[in-house]
């Protein structure tokens, strides 16, 4: 009996991979001939980013930026902390920020403002999930996997208190 039997499947592994292939093709076309840096927002986006960069048919570099705003809860605290910074400068480069989920928009707004001070040539966002009903700050998601209702989801990198990241699909979690 798998440890995740209590989850209701929202998006299957197959649905996720099909959408990633579509996003990869779109990003490939949009960034052809440009110097692209993909920034994976840790920890939640690492699986998505891994699959996404393999679907982008361009030379690119990858960096990681750790942030925290949940602190083991099912709702954001509203306070965003950088837990791990980029390893290389991004000035003059096209930047694609890869996020697992944009819900309130507070974390992404913080990241966009922070990254803009580093003088990239451009910044776009690719998010696997968007939860617009929870938006407090409006941010433009340039590449979007799926729009979801106001439900707490885990799996495929998304967690609850550091658990469920290894579930192969995205599932709805009953309230903790």
Would you please indicate which residues are annotated as catalytic (active-site) residues? Answer: 103
Extended beta strands in the chain, E state: 8-11, 36-42, 60-68, 81-84, 94-102, 122-130, 143-147, 153-154, 170-172
Alpha-carbon span 43 to 25, nearest angstrom: 24
**Cα–Cα distance, 102 to 83 (Å, whole number):** 18
Number of Cβ atoms within 10 Å of the Cβ of 33? 6
């Amino acid at each position: 009996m798998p440890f995740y039997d209590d989850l209701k499947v929202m998006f299957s592994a197959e649905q996720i991979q099909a959408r990633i292939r579509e996003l990869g093709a779109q990003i490939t076309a949009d960034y052809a001939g440009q110097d692209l840096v993909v920034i994976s927002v840790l920890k939640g986006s690492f699986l998505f980013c891994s699959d996404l960069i393999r679907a982008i048919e361009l030379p690119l570099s990858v960096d990681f930026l750790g942030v925290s705003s949940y602190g083991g809860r099912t709702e954001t605290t509203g306070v965003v902390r950088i837990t791990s910074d980029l390893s290389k400068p991004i000035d003059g480069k096209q930047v694609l920020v890869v996020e697992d989920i944009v819900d309130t928009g507070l974390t992404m707004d913080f990241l966009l403002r922070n990254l803009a001070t580093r003088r990239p040539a451009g910044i776009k966002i690719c998010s696997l999930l968007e939860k617009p009903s929870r938006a407090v700050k409006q941010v433009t998601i340039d590449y979007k996997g799926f729009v979801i209702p106001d439900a707490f989801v885990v799996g495929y990198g998304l967690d609850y208190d550091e658990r469920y990241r290894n579930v192969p699909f995205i599932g709805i979690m009953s309230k903790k």
